[in-house]
Structure 1
Amino acid sequence: MASVTARIGSATPADRDRGVDALRALAILGVVAGHWLVTTWVHGPGGKVYISSPLAYLPALTPLSWVFQTLAVFFFVGGYAAARSLRSATGYPAWVRARTGRLLRPVGPLALVWTGIAAGMALHGMPYGTIRALALPAVGPLWFLAVFAALSAATPLLLRVRPGAVAVSAFAVVLVVDALRFGEAGPDWLKWVNLVAGWLLPYVLGVGWAGGALASRRAAVALLAGGAAGTAVLVAGFGYPASMVGVTGAEISNLGPPTLAAVCFGVAQVGLALLVREPLARLMRRPRLWAAVAVANLGAMTLFLWHQTALTATVLAALRFGDVPGLLTPPTDPVWPLYRLAWLPVFAAPLGAVWLLQRARRRFDDRVS
């Protein structure tokens, strides 16, 4: 372990922004841990399996969604990294091919695996509703990847405009769409405009940060305070859900697609990320911590895309055993979260195996090319 840590440290360029890498790793960890804690299934009539959520039964756990819903930080750091790498690239087409290749490389294997799993479940007579309930959480990250890839491809355009103006415009779009959506004055499909506008805001803030904006502590504090205040007002005064993740059975989800409350919450997260970046960079001087962060960053997209598949594979294996505590029991008991916590290492094992396979495949592709 010490030799691996030493090799990672010696291979890291001296000018590497370890604080940004730490933010990306924390964002990925938040997404993975959050999904593993709130995604659950229960047995229903006729042998069917339904998706559920502990937040629907244990509302005291809602504050956990404020900790683990870190997608805004993911997009913020993504915008920063894309803008920085584009400035040193030799050309836009080559940059886009390389970047989208890294983003989309894990998608093909994921699609093949889930095509096989879905076909196998259908051949074994599993009800369509059960197949859908098991597959949707696993392929859900593809929505966010599609938006992230589109924003990455648009980075050259975003570098030519004022990031602040784009951020304000994106915020205004989300505000108008929410007003029309919840005022029942617009078509239902209009809400999906927020899928792009809502994540464009933190992404373009990251692009601006790479260009020297948001450099002052005052700007970070303003984003944190303004975003937190906006979220509190919307939740307390306008009926937005307090949970920053979707809750099964809830009328409104802050993430399906992003609402104004989720966007304000994301702005607060961006402010907090700016404030903690330097302390994180100092922590990353510790070799073991930096090694863990570097390893997470090497397979960030693999972890993001495959973590729900690792969870679902465990649930599929447990179906034959009935109501397995923490996996296939209603999350109504206050003890349920403890059962789920005990399962986290089990979910991590197949995810780690996928990460190793993807790294081996990438090394093979690099040697062949």
Structure 2
Amino acid sequence: MTGPAAPPLAKRTTDLRKLVRRVDAATPAGRDRALDTLRGLAVLGVVTGHWLVTALVDTGHGTLTGDSPLRHLPWLAPVSWVLQTLAVFFLVGGHVAAKGLAGARRRGVPYHRWLRERLARLSRPVVPLAAVWTVAAAVLVAGGAEPGTLGALLRLVLSPLWFLVVFAALTAATPIAAWIGPFRPLLAVACVDAARFALGAPAWLGWVNVAAAWLVPYALGAWWAEGRFERRGALCALVCGAVGAAALVVWGGYPASMVGVPGQAVSNLSPPTLAAVAFGLAQCGAAVLLADRLRRLAARPVVWAAVALVNLFAMTLFLWHQTAMIVITLAGLPFGPLPGLGASPDGLGWVAARLCWLPAFALALAVCWAAFGPAERRPEGA
């Protein structure tokens, strides 16, 4: 005699618990789970931040244009302080790359082979994105889409690619990142800002900061991997970075928002400014100080399974999250400008409605993940 079959819900719960335990058991004992947790939080911060502060507005004349609630509600700038987490991503990237390169050297793997493998992992997820949007752009043009609409959509889709270009360049510089350290690029950013804002240098000079600014957290990550950025240095970075960013905003005339705002004369992010770098220093200090707690938290199998899933497809989530938002926005257009979707982001009603749309964005992103995530994990030569 066999007992009664387990109810479907109970069986699914049992299977999920088994999967969680398998993920936990398959994780190498020496893996630093704090790094994966920080990377996962950074990716989710960027995704959620973009969904909350980026809007496609239906002008009513067949054209979509980009906008942001931060332009209409500047007092919401603290949202960008929480969700602009790129410095943490570069910090973890520098740490992981420095450790990985050191391990490769011990195994006798030449630098060029190590770099090729790293860059391949970065570039693989771009291929399906480029393919899908090449076809989508052709369809939109054939369907008579306004150039302004096409431009607004492509800017959102392509904007994450700048990150990959910078991250690839910094990855190539990993052998000298620790030697350069964070202070030289920090000084370079300060000099560029002084030239731009005090001496009347041309605006294009600010783009030097794209490399210099993100080298600061990347080099800190390399120092962290070598044991040169521990609690005392992290506390100093947190305090000095926070005080410096606040002073630059209050007395230096820098914008309070740590992301770009349409119509704003100066952006802290495009190109990065000294205020953004100081803010990133504070984030890096906080990340290192929280690492032990995150390590303990990620030791729980359920938490670790979620962290591992995000990290396994981090680049897919990063590259496709704007597409997910665009798909839901376009699906809502036949119903007219909807609150939080197509309407102007000029009030708290829009913010409240946008929060309600986040699950729909997440569902669309899950579909993108299911369709294109395997490309990120494809082994070399496949």
TM-score (normalised: structure 2):
0.92
The alpha-carbon deviation at position 74 of structure 1 amounts to 0.4
Find the counterpart in structure 2 of residue 66 from structure 1: 81
Find the counterpart in structure 2 of residue 323 from structure 1: 337
Q: Aligned partners of 1:183 and 1:288: how far apart in 2?
A: 52
Q: Gaps (5+ residues) in structure 2? A: 1-15
Q: Quick one: which of 147, 150, 165 aligns to 1:146?
A: 165
The alpha-carbon deviation at position 302 of structure 1 amounts to 1.1
Cα RMSD for the two superposed structures? 1.5
Find the counterpart in structure 2 of residue 281 from structure 1: 295
Give runs of ≥4 in structure 1 deviating > 4 Å. Answer: none
The alpha-carbon deviation at position 320 of structure 1 amounts to 2.2
Q: Quick one: which of 36, 48, 52 aligns to 1:33?
A: 48
Q: Gaps (5+ residues) in structure 1? A: none
Find the counterpart in structure 1 of residue 204 from structure 2: 189
The alpha-carbon deviation at position 184 of structure 1 amounts to 5.5
Q: Quick one: which of 189, 195, 214 aligns to 1:174?
A: 189
Find the counterpart in structure 2 of residue 366 from structure 1: 379
- Superposed CA offset, 1:38-59 (max 9, x none): 1102122632211110111122
Q: Aligned partners of 2:27 and 2:99: how far apart in 1?
A: 17
The alpha-carbon deviation at position 185 of structure 1 amounts to 2.6
Q: Aligned partners of 2:300 and 2:309: how far apart in 1?
A: 14
CA 1:362–1:193 in 2, change beyond 3 Å: closer, same or farther? Answer: closer
- Is it true that 1:351 corresponds to 2:365 in the alignment? yes
Cα pair 2:234 2:289 within 8 Å, conserved: yes
Q: Quick one: which of 237, 255, 260 aligns to 1:223?
A: 237
- Is it true that 1:243 corresponds to 2:262 in the alignment? no
Find the counterpart in structure 2 of residue 136 from structure 1: 155
The alpha-carbon deviation at position 179 of structure 1 amounts to 1.4
The alpha-carbon deviation at position 367 of structure 1 amounts to 9.2
Letter in 2 for 1:247: V
Cα pair 2:185 2:213 within 8 Å, conserved: yes
Among all aligned residue pairs of Structure 1 and Structure 2, give the percentage whose two residues are the same amino acid.
52
SS, match of residue 46 in structure 1: coil
The alpha-carbon deviation at position 321 of structure 1 amounts to 2.1
Q: Aligned partners of 2:180 and 2:68: how far apart in 1?
A: 41
The alpha-carbon deviation at position 60 of structure 1 amounts to 2.6
Q: Aligned partners of 1:162 and 1:360: how far apart in 2?
A: 36
SS, match of residue 343 in structure 2: coil
CA 1:318–1:184 in 2, change beyond 3 Å: closer, same or farther? Answer: farther
Q: Aligned partners of 1:147 and 1:298: how far apart in 2?
A: 21
The alpha-carbon deviation at position 322 of structure 1 amounts to 1.4
Q: Quick one: which of 72, 80, 96 aligns to 1:57?
A: 72
Cα pair 2:313 2:373 within 8 Å, conserved: yes
Q: Aligned partners of 1:185 and 1:162: how far apart in 2?
A: 28
Find the counterpart in structure 1 of residue 115 from structure 2: 96
CA 1:189–1:27 in 2, change beyond 3 Å: closer, same or farther? Answer: same
Q: Quick one: which of 36, 41, 58 aligns to 1:21?
A: 36
Matches within 5 A, 1:119-134: 119-134=138-153
Q: Aligned partners of 2:318 and 2:273: how far apart in 1?
A: 22
TM-score (normalised: structure 1):
0.95
Q: Aligned partners of 1:42 and 1:296: how far apart in 2?
A: 30
> Which is worse superposed, 347-356 or 193-202?
347-356
CA 1:184–1:82 in 2, change beyond 3 Å: closer, same or farther? Answer: same
SS, match of residue 240 in structure 1: coil
